[in-house]
Protein backbone atom coordinates (compact mmCIF):
# COMPACT_ATOMS: atom_id res chain seq x y z
CA UNK A 1 0.00 0.00 0.00
CA UNK A 2 1.24 3.48 -0.90
CA UNK A 3 0.77 5.71 2.12
CA UNK A 4 -0.41 9.28 1.52
CA UNK A 5 -1.44 12.20 3.68
CA UNK A 6 -5.08 11.24 3.11
CA UNK A 7 -4.70 7.53 3.94
CA UNK A 8 -2.70 8.27 7.09
CA UNK A 9 -5.28 10.84 8.22
CA UNK A 10 -8.06 8.35 7.55
CA UNK A 11 -6.26 5.67 9.57
CA UNK A 12 -5.82 7.99 12.55
CA UNK A 13 -9.48 9.03 12.47
CA UNK A 14 -10.64 5.41 12.21
CA UNK A 15 -8.53 4.53 15.23
CA UNK A 16 -9.92 7.52 17.13
CA UNK A 17 -13.46 6.35 16.43
CA UNK A 18 -12.59 2.84 17.60
CA UNK A 19 -10.96 4.18 20.76
CA UNK A 20 -14.09 6.17 21.60
CA UNK A 21 -16.16 2.99 21.58
CA UNK A 22 -14.52 2.24 24.94
CA UNK A 23 -13.47 -1.26 23.88
CA UNK A 24 -9.81 -0.71 24.77
CA UNK A 25 -10.78 0.33 28.31
CA UNK A 26 -11.62 -3.30 29.07
CA UNK A 27 -8.62 -5.01 30.66
CA UNK A 28 -9.85 -8.35 29.33
CA UNK A 29 -9.65 -6.94 25.79
CA UNK A 30 -6.08 -5.74 26.34
CA UNK A 31 -5.05 -9.15 27.69
CA UNK A 32 -6.61 -10.85 24.66
CA UNK A 33 -4.69 -8.54 22.30
CA UNK A 34 -1.41 -9.13 24.14
CA UNK A 35 -1.88 -12.88 23.95
CA UNK A 36 -2.37 -12.58 20.19
CA UNK A 37 0.95 -10.76 19.92
CA UNK A 38 2.69 -13.36 22.07
CA UNK A 39 1.29 -16.19 19.94
CA UNK A 40 2.44 -14.42 16.78
CA UNK A 41 6.01 -14.37 18.09
CA UNK A 42 5.92 -18.18 18.06
CA UNK A 43 4.00 -18.60 14.81
CA UNK A 44 6.26 -16.19 12.91
CA UNK A 45 9.51 -17.02 14.74
CA UNK A 46 11.27 -18.41 11.66
CA UNK A 47 10.09 -15.61 9.36
CA UNK A 48 11.27 -13.05 11.91
CA UNK A 49 14.68 -14.72 12.18
CA UNK A 50 15.00 -14.89 8.39
CA UNK A 51 14.12 -11.19 8.09
CA UNK A 52 16.65 -10.18 10.75
CA UNK A 53 19.29 -12.21 8.94
CA UNK A 54 18.43 -10.51 5.67
CA UNK A 55 18.48 -7.01 7.19
CA UNK A 56 21.35 -7.27 9.68
CA UNK A 57 23.02 -10.64 9.15
CA UNK A 58 21.94 -11.80 12.60
CA UNK A 59 22.29 -15.45 13.54
CA UNK A 60 19.17 -17.32 14.64
CA UNK A 61 20.36 -17.33 18.27
CA UNK A 62 21.03 -13.59 18.34
CA UNK A 63 17.70 -12.88 16.63
CA UNK A 64 15.84 -14.74 19.35
CA UNK A 65 17.97 -13.59 22.30
CA UNK A 66 17.91 -9.90 21.37
CA UNK A 67 14.55 -9.48 19.60
CA UNK A 68 11.86 -12.16 19.64
CA UNK A 69 12.57 -13.66 23.06
CA UNK A 70 12.70 -10.27 24.78
CA UNK A 71 9.29 -9.36 23.34
CA UNK A 72 7.83 -12.59 24.74
CA UNK A 73 9.42 -11.86 28.12
CA UNK A 74 7.98 -8.33 28.08
CA UNK A 75 4.47 -9.55 27.22
CA UNK A 76 4.60 -12.21 29.96
CA UNK A 77 5.52 -9.58 32.54
CA UNK A 78 2.64 -7.35 31.44
CA UNK A 79 0.14 -10.22 31.44
CA UNK A 80 1.17 -11.11 34.98
CA UNK A 81 0.66 -7.63 36.41
CA UNK A 82 -1.84 -5.82 34.17
CA UNK A 83 -5.01 -6.41 36.21
CA UNK A 84 -3.33 -5.00 39.29
CA UNK A 85 -1.72 -2.08 37.46
CA UNK A 86 -4.96 -1.02 35.77
CA UNK A 87 -7.03 -1.12 38.96
CA UNK A 88 -8.04 2.39 40.18
CA UNK A 89 -6.15 3.48 43.29
CA UNK A 90 -8.22 4.34 46.36
CA UNK A 91 -7.10 7.36 48.38
CA UNK A 92 -8.32 9.00 51.61
CA UNK A 93 -9.14 12.57 50.66
CA UNK A 94 -8.14 14.10 54.02
CA UNK A 95 -9.89 16.37 56.50
CA UNK A 96 -9.52 19.37 54.20
CA UNK A 97 -11.99 17.69 51.84
CA UNK A 98 -14.44 16.61 54.59
CA UNK A 99 -17.02 15.14 54.21
CA UNK A 100 -15.86 13.98 50.74
CA UNK A 101 -13.37 11.40 51.96
CA UNK A 102 -13.08 9.07 48.96
CA UNK A 103 -10.78 9.77 45.99
CA UNK A 104 -9.89 7.41 43.17
CA UNK A 105 -7.01 7.64 40.68
CA UNK A 106 -7.93 6.12 37.33
CA UNK A 107 -5.17 4.95 34.96
CA UNK A 108 -6.56 6.30 31.70
CA UNK A 109 -5.20 5.52 28.23
CA UNK A 110 -4.05 8.48 26.14
CA UNK A 111 -5.93 7.35 23.04
CA UNK A 112 -4.32 7.03 19.60
CA UNK A 113 -0.55 6.52 19.84
CA UNK A 114 2.23 6.85 17.26
CA UNK A 115 5.17 4.46 17.68
CA UNK A 116 8.25 5.24 15.57
CA UNK A 117 10.74 2.36 15.67
CA UNK A 118 14.36 1.99 14.45
CA UNK A 119 16.23 -0.54 12.31
CA UNK A 120 18.71 -2.00 14.78
CA UNK A 121 16.29 -4.11 16.84
CA UNK A 122 13.19 -3.78 14.70
CA UNK A 123 11.12 -6.51 16.38
CA UNK A 124 11.94 -5.66 19.99
CA UNK A 125 11.71 -1.89 19.60
CA UNK A 126 8.43 -2.14 17.71
CA UNK A 127 6.49 -4.91 19.39
CA UNK A 128 8.01 -4.29 22.83
CA UNK A 129 6.71 -0.72 22.74
CA UNK A 130 3.41 -1.84 21.17
CA UNK A 131 2.88 -4.20 24.11
CA UNK A 132 3.16 -1.25 26.50
CA UNK A 133 0.75 0.83 24.42
CA UNK A 134 -1.79 -2.02 24.32
CA UNK A 135 -1.40 -2.55 28.07
CA UNK A 136 -2.29 1.08 28.61
CA UNK A 137 -5.49 0.70 26.59
CA UNK A 138 -4.48 2.67 23.50
CA UNK A 139 -4.68 2.11 19.76
CA UNK A 140 -1.45 2.36 17.75
CA UNK A 141 -0.09 3.55 14.44
CA UNK A 142 3.40 2.10 13.98
CA UNK A 143 5.93 3.80 11.70
CA UNK A 144 8.60 1.14 11.16
CA UNK A 145 12.05 1.75 9.71
CA UNK A 146 12.55 1.81 5.95
CA UNK A 147 16.14 0.58 6.45
CA UNK A 148 15.19 -2.84 7.84
CA UNK A 149 12.87 -3.65 4.94
CA UNK A 150 12.52 -7.39 5.48
CA UNK A 151 11.69 -6.99 9.16
CA UNK A 152 9.20 -4.22 8.42
CA UNK A 153 7.48 -6.45 5.86
CA UNK A 154 7.17 -9.34 8.34
CA UNK A 155 5.87 -7.04 11.07
CA UNK A 156 3.31 -5.58 8.69
CA UNK A 157 2.18 -9.12 7.86
CA UNK A 158 1.88 -9.98 11.58
CA UNK A 159 -0.08 -6.83 12.42
CA UNK A 160 -2.52 -7.38 9.56
CA UNK A 161 -2.96 -11.00 10.61
CA UNK A 162 -3.80 -10.41 14.27
CA UNK A 163 -5.30 -6.90 14.54
CA UNK A 164 -7.97 -4.86 12.74
CA UNK A 165 -6.61 -1.68 11.09
CA UNK A 166 -8.71 0.60 13.27
CA UNK A 167 -6.87 -0.82 16.30
CA UNK A 168 -3.22 -1.32 15.17
CA UNK A 169 -1.74 -0.34 11.81
CA UNK A 170 1.86 -0.55 10.62
CA UNK A 171 2.98 2.13 8.18
CA UNK A 172 6.07 1.64 6.03
CA UNK A 173 8.07 4.19 4.05
CA UNK A 174 10.84 6.75 4.53
CA UNK A 175 11.24 10.01 6.39
CA UNK A 176 8.58 11.68 4.24
CA UNK A 177 5.99 9.19 5.47
CA UNK A 178 7.17 9.67 9.05
CA UNK A 179 6.61 13.41 8.68
CA UNK A 180 3.10 12.80 7.33
CA UNK A 181 2.41 10.80 10.48
CA UNK A 182 3.85 13.53 12.70
CA UNK A 183 1.60 16.11 11.07
CA UNK A 184 -1.42 14.26 12.49
CA UNK A 185 -2.74 14.89 15.99
CA UNK A 186 -1.84 11.90 18.12
CA UNK A 187 -2.47 11.56 21.85
CA UNK A 188 0.97 10.08 22.62
CA UNK A 189 4.17 9.60 20.60
CA UNK A 190 6.97 7.14 21.37
CA UNK A 191 10.14 7.54 19.29
CA UNK A 192 13.31 5.42 19.36
CA UNK A 193 16.33 6.62 17.41
CA UNK A 194 18.89 9.40 17.17
CA UNK A 195 18.94 12.68 19.15
CA UNK A 196 18.84 14.69 15.90
CA UNK A 197 15.58 13.10 14.77
CA UNK A 198 14.33 13.19 18.37
CA UNK A 199 14.49 16.99 18.26
CA UNK A 200 12.46 16.96 15.06
CA UNK A 201 9.84 14.67 16.63
CA UNK A 202 9.53 17.02 19.62
CA UNK A 203 9.13 20.05 17.36
CA UNK A 204 6.37 18.37 15.35
CA UNK A 205 4.62 17.08 18.47
CA UNK A 206 4.69 20.55 20.03
CA UNK A 207 2.25 21.78 17.38
CA UNK A 208 -0.45 19.63 18.98
CA UNK A 209 1.02 19.65 22.52
CA UNK A 210 1.30 15.88 22.24
CA UNK A 211 3.23 14.17 25.07
CA UNK A 212 6.34 12.38 23.83
CA UNK A 213 8.62 9.61 25.10
CA UNK A 214 12.08 9.41 23.53
CA UNK A 215 14.64 6.61 23.68
CA UNK A 216 17.85 8.00 22.19
CA UNK A 217 21.44 6.81 21.95
CA UNK A 218 23.01 9.91 23.43
CA UNK A 219 24.87 12.67 21.62
CA UNK A 220 28.36 11.67 22.79
CA UNK A 221 27.87 7.95 23.34
CA UNK A 222 28.06 5.63 26.33
CA UNK A 223 31.17 5.27 28.46
CA UNK A 224 32.69 2.14 29.98
CA UNK A 225 35.32 2.57 32.70
CA UNK A 226 37.78 -0.20 33.56
CA UNK A 227 39.70 0.57 36.75
CA UNK A 228 43.05 -0.94 37.75
CA UNK A 229 41.43 -3.24 40.35
CA UNK A 230 38.97 -4.75 37.82
CA UNK A 231 38.88 -8.42 36.87
CA UNK A 232 40.64 -7.79 33.54
CA UNK A 233 39.78 -11.06 31.84
CA UNK A 234 36.11 -10.83 32.84
CA UNK A 235 35.85 -7.21 31.70
CA UNK A 236 37.49 -7.98 28.34
CA UNK A 237 35.23 -10.98 27.73
CA UNK A 238 32.05 -9.01 28.37
CA UNK A 239 33.11 -5.91 26.45
CA UNK A 240 34.08 -8.05 23.44
CA UNK A 241 30.70 -9.83 23.50
CA UNK A 242 28.86 -6.52 23.64
CA UNK A 243 30.81 -4.92 20.79
CA UNK A 244 30.19 -7.98 18.59
CA UNK A 245 26.46 -7.99 19.28
CA UNK A 246 24.62 -6.54 16.28
CA UNK A 247 27.99 -5.22 15.04
CA UNK A 248 27.82 -2.44 17.62
CA UNK A 249 24.48 -1.10 16.36
CA UNK A 250 22.94 -0.84 19.82
CA UNK A 251 21.85 2.38 21.51
CA UNK A 252 23.14 1.17 24.90
CA UNK A 253 26.43 -0.20 23.53
CA UNK A 254 29.84 0.94 24.70
CA UNK A 255 30.91 3.87 22.57
CA UNK A 256 34.32 4.25 24.17
CA UNK A 257 36.17 2.39 26.93
CA UNK A 258 38.31 4.29 29.40
CA UNK A 259 40.98 1.96 30.79
CA UNK A 260 43.41 2.64 33.65
CA UNK A 261 46.95 3.01 32.32
CA UNK A 262 48.22 0.66 35.02
CA UNK A 263 46.45 -2.35 33.46
CA UNK A 264 45.90 -1.15 29.88
CA UNK A 265 48.47 -3.48 28.27
CA UNK A 266 47.04 -6.60 29.93
CA UNK A 267 43.48 -5.51 29.23
CA UNK A 268 44.09 -4.95 25.52
CA UNK A 269 45.71 -8.38 25.16
CA UNK A 270 42.77 -10.01 26.94
CA UNK A 271 40.35 -8.05 24.74
CA UNK A 272 42.02 -9.34 21.57
CA UNK A 273 41.91 -12.90 22.94
CA UNK A 274 38.22 -12.51 23.78
CA UNK A 275 37.38 -11.32 20.28
CA UNK A 276 39.28 -14.22 18.71
CA UNK A 277 37.68 -16.76 21.02
CA UNK A 278 34.16 -15.51 20.36
CA UNK A 279 34.27 -14.73 16.64
CA UNK A 280 37.45 -16.39 15.34
CA UNK A 281 40.43 -15.03 13.39
CA UNK A 282 38.33 -14.23 10.31
CA UNK A 283 35.18 -12.44 11.55
CA UNK A 284 34.27 -11.25 8.05
CA UNK A 285 33.82 -14.90 7.04
CA UNK A 286 32.03 -15.89 10.25
CA UNK A 287 28.40 -16.63 9.51
CA UNK A 288 27.33 -15.57 13.01
CA UNK A 289 28.85 -12.09 12.83
CA UNK A 290 26.23 -9.44 11.90
CA UNK A 291 26.62 -6.74 9.28
CA UNK A 292 25.96 -3.02 9.17
CA UNK A 293 22.49 -1.99 8.06
CA UNK A 294 23.42 -0.35 4.75
CA UNK A 295 26.13 1.12 2.56
CA UNK A 296 25.98 4.55 4.20
CA UNK A 297 26.55 3.01 7.64
CA UNK A 298 29.38 0.84 6.31
CA UNK A 299 31.08 3.75 4.54
CA UNK A 300 30.84 5.92 7.64
CA UNK A 301 32.42 3.20 9.78
CA UNK A 302 35.20 2.51 7.26
CA UNK A 303 35.92 6.21 6.81
CA UNK A 304 36.27 6.81 10.54
CA UNK A 305 38.50 3.76 10.95
CA UNK A 306 40.76 5.08 8.18
CA UNK A 307 41.14 8.36 10.05
CA UNK A 308 42.67 6.42 12.96
CA UNK A 309 44.43 3.78 10.84
CA UNK A 310 47.82 4.32 12.53
CA UNK A 311 46.33 3.50 15.95
CA UNK A 312 44.30 0.41 15.10
CA UNK A 313 45.69 -2.46 17.18
CA UNK A 314 43.03 -5.04 16.32
CA UNK A 315 40.68 -5.43 13.35
CA UNK A 316 40.37 -2.57 10.90
CA UNK A 317 39.22 -4.47 7.82
CA UNK A 318 35.83 -4.60 6.13
CA UNK A 319 34.00 -6.12 3.19
CA UNK A 320 31.93 -3.60 1.25
CA UNK A 321 30.05 -6.38 -0.56
CA UNK A 322 28.74 -8.01 2.63
CA UNK A 323 28.70 -4.74 4.65
CA UNK A 324 30.63 -6.44 7.44
CA UNK A 325 33.34 -4.58 9.33
CA UNK A 326 35.63 -6.24 11.85
CA UNK A 327 35.46 -5.35 15.54
CA UNK A 328 38.18 -2.70 15.65
CA UNK A 329 40.15 -1.51 18.67
CA UNK A 330 41.76 1.94 18.44
CA UNK A 331 44.49 2.78 20.99
CA UNK A 332 45.35 5.19 22.48
CA UNK A 333 42.67 7.84 22.03
CA UNK A 334 42.46 11.11 23.93
CA UNK A 335 39.14 11.89 25.61
CA UNK A 336 38.86 15.10 23.57
CA UNK A 337 39.32 13.54 20.12
CA UNK A 338 36.40 13.62 17.64
CA UNK A 339 35.82 9.85 17.67
CA UNK A 340 34.79 9.94 21.35
CA UNK A 341 32.59 12.99 21.03
CA UNK A 342 29.76 11.43 19.00
CA UNK A 343 27.78 8.19 18.90
CA UNK A 344 29.55 5.61 16.70
CA UNK A 345 26.85 2.92 16.27
CA UNK A 346 29.32 0.49 14.69
CA UNK A 347 32.02 -2.04 15.74
CA UNK A 348 34.75 0.57 16.33
CA UNK A 349 35.99 0.75 19.93
CA UNK A 350 38.25 3.68 20.87
CA UNK A 351 40.12 3.06 24.13
CA UNK A 352 40.96 6.07 26.30
CA UNK A 353 43.81 5.72 28.83
CA UNK A 354 43.58 7.44 32.22
CA UNK A 355 45.60 7.43 35.46
CA UNK A 356 43.61 5.50 38.05
CA UNK A 357 44.23 8.07 40.77
CA UNK A 358 42.82 10.75 38.43
CA UNK A 359 39.48 9.01 37.98
CA UNK A 360 37.61 12.07 39.28
CA UNK A 361 38.92 14.13 36.37
CA UNK A 362 37.58 11.53 33.93
CA UNK A 363 34.20 11.54 35.65
CA UNK A 364 34.11 15.33 35.38
CA UNK A 365 34.80 15.05 31.64
CA UNK A 366 31.95 12.57 31.23
CA UNK A 367 29.60 14.73 33.32
CA UNK A 368 30.40 17.81 31.22
CA UNK A 369 29.11 16.08 28.07
CA UNK A 370 25.61 15.11 27.08
CA UNK A 371 24.08 12.36 29.18
CA UNK A 372 24.56 8.86 27.82
CA UNK A 373 21.87 6.19 27.70
CA UNK A 374 24.19 3.82 29.60
CA UNK A 375 27.21 3.81 31.89
CA UNK A 376 29.34 0.71 32.60
CA UNK A 377 31.90 0.29 35.38
CA UNK A 378 34.38 -2.53 35.98
CA UNK A 379 35.91 -2.48 39.45
CA UNK A 380 36.10 -4.39 42.74
CA UNK A 381 35.47 -1.19 44.71
CA UNK A 382 31.71 -1.42 45.23
CA UNK A 383 31.64 1.61 47.51
CA UNK A 384 33.10 3.76 44.73
CA UNK A 385 30.89 2.16 42.07
CA UNK A 386 27.70 2.78 44.04
CA UNK A 387 28.73 6.39 44.65
CA UNK A 388 29.34 6.96 40.92
CA UNK A 389 26.11 5.30 39.84
CA UNK A 390 24.18 7.37 42.39
CA UNK A 391 25.72 10.70 41.31
CA UNK A 392 26.33 10.62 37.54
CA UNK A 393 23.53 11.40 35.08
CA UNK A 394 22.77 8.64 32.56
CA UNK A 395 19.92 6.39 31.50
CA UNK A 396 20.91 3.09 33.14
CA UNK A 397 23.89 0.79 33.37
CA UNK A 398 25.84 -2.02 34.99
CA UNK A 399 28.68 -2.63 37.41
CA UNK A 400 30.92 -5.49 36.26
CA UNK A 401 28.44 -6.41 33.55
CA UNK A 402 27.08 -5.09 30.25
CA UNK A 403 23.66 -4.76 28.56
CA UNK A 404 21.73 -6.90 31.06
CA UNK A 405 20.08 -3.89 32.71
CA UNK A 406 17.74 -4.14 29.72
CA UNK A 407 16.59 -7.61 30.78
CA UNK A 408 15.63 -6.95 34.42
CA UNK A 409 11.92 -7.52 35.02
CA UNK A 410 10.10 -4.69 36.77
CA UNK A 411 12.91 -2.19 36.14
CA UNK A 412 12.54 0.85 33.83
CA UNK A 413 14.52 1.40 30.66
CA UNK A 414 15.00 5.07 29.94
CA UNK A 415 17.26 7.94 29.03
CA UNK A 416 17.77 11.48 30.25
CA UNK A 417 18.52 14.67 28.35
CA UNK A 418 20.12 13.83 25.01
CA UNK A 419 19.58 10.12 25.66
CA UNK A 420 15.83 10.50 25.99
CA UNK A 421 12.85 11.06 28.25
CA UNK A 422 10.21 8.78 29.67
CA UNK A 423 10.59 5.09 30.50
CA UNK A 424 9.10 1.72 29.71
CA UNK A 425 9.29 -2.08 30.33
CA UNK A 426 6.79 -3.79 32.59
CA UNK A 427 4.78 -1.51 34.85
CA UNK A 428 6.88 1.47 33.71
CA UNK A 429 5.62 0.97 30.16
CA UNK A 430 2.05 0.82 31.43
CA UNK A 431 2.62 4.10 33.28
CA UNK A 432 4.20 5.69 30.20
CA UNK A 433 1.11 4.96 28.14
CA UNK A 434 -1.50 5.97 30.71
CA UNK A 435 -2.48 9.22 32.38
CA UNK A 436 -3.38 9.13 36.10
CA UNK A 437 -6.72 10.91 36.52
CA UNK A 438 -7.65 11.92 40.07
CA UNK A 439 -11.37 11.94 40.88
CA UNK A 440 -12.84 12.98 44.25
CA UNK A 441 -16.31 11.68 45.10
CA UNK A 442 -18.23 14.45 46.84
CA UNK A 443 -20.86 14.26 49.53
CA UNK A 444 -23.98 16.37 49.86
CA UNK A 445 -24.27 15.75 53.60
CA UNK A 446 -22.46 17.32 56.55
CA UNK A 447 -20.83 19.97 54.33
CA UNK A 448 -19.22 22.72 56.38
CA UNK A 449 -19.11 26.30 54.99
CA UNK A 450 -15.36 26.28 55.55
CA UNK A 451 -14.37 27.31 52.00
CA UNK A 452 -17.24 29.70 51.42
CA UNK A 453 -17.39 33.47 51.79
CA UNK A 454 -17.47 35.45 53.97
CA UNK A 455 -14.12 35.01 55.72
CA UNK A 456 -14.08 38.27 57.74
CA UNK A 457 -15.61 39.12 61.08
CA UNK A 458 -15.59 37.40 64.46
CA UNK A 459 -18.31 35.05 63.38
CA UNK A 460 -16.13 33.63 60.59
CA UNK A 461 -12.71 33.65 62.26
CA UNK A 462 -13.01 29.92 62.96
CA UNK A 463 -12.71 29.18 59.25
CA UNK A 464 -9.06 30.21 58.94
CA UNK A 465 -8.22 28.44 62.20
CA UNK A 466 -9.79 25.25 60.86
CA UNK A 467 -7.95 25.56 57.54
CA UNK A 468 -4.61 25.92 59.36
CA UNK A 469 -5.47 22.89 61.44
CA UNK A 470 -6.47 20.72 58.47
CA UNK A 471 -3.76 21.84 56.00
CA UNK A 472 -0.80 20.37 57.83
Average pLDDT over residues 336-345: 96
| Catalytic residue from among 215, 270, 343, 370 | 215
Answer whether 0.85 is exceeded by the pTM: yes
| Catalytic residue from among 245, 251, 301, 398 | 251
DSSP states of 51-112 as a string?
Answer: HHHHHH---HHHHIIIIIHHHHHHHHHHHHHHHHHHSPEEEE--GGGTT--EEEEEEEE-SE
Q: How would you label 210-227 residue by residue, b for 16+ Cβ within 10 Å and e otherwise?
A: bbbbbbbbbbbbbbbbbb
Q: Write down the CATH superfamily of domain 222-369+372-413.
A: Aldehyde Dehydrogenase; Chain A, domain 2 (3.40.309.10)
Name the strands in the sheet holding 434-441, side by side, starting at the edge strand that comes first in the sequence: 89-92, 102-109, 434-441
Please state at what angle helix 149-162 crosses helix 45-56, rounded to 10 degrees.
160
Quick check: is 245 catalytic? no
Parallel, antiparallel, or unpaired for β 222-226 and 168-171? unpaired
Quick check: is 215 catalytic? yes
Cα–Cα dist 363/393, whole Å:
11
| Whole-number average pLDDT of the chain | 95
Domain map (residue ranges) of the chain: 5-217+423-435, 222-369+372-413
Cα–Cα dist 354/348, whole Å:
19
Give, for 33, the enclosing helix (H) or strand (E): helix 27-43
Domains 5-217+423-435 and 222-369+372-413 share a fold: no
Q: Write down the CATH superfamily of domain 5-217+423-435.
A: Aldehyde Dehydrogenase; Chain A, domain 1 (3.40.605.10)
Cα–Cα dist 471/94, whole Å:
9
Residue pLDDT, tens place only, 359-417: 999 999 999 999 999 999 999 999 999 999 999 999 999 999 999 999 898 899 989 99
Residue pLDDT, tens place only, 98-140: 888 899 999 999 999 999 999 999 999 999 999 999 999 999 9
Residue pLDDT, tens place only, 64-80: 999 999 999 999 999 99
Amino acid sequence: MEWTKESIHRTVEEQRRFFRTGKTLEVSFRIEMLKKLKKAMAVYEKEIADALRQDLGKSYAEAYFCDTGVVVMEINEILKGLKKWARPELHYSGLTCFPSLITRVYKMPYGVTLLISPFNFPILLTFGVLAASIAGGNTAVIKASSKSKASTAVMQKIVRDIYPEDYVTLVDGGHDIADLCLEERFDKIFYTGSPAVGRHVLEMAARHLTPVALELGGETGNWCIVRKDADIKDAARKIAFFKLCNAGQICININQAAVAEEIAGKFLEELKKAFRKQIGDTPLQNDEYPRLIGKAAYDKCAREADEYRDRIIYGGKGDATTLKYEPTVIWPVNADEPIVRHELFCPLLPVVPFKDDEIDDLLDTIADREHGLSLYLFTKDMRWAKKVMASQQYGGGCVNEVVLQLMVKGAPFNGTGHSGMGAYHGVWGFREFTHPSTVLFGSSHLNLPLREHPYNGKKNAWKLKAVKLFER
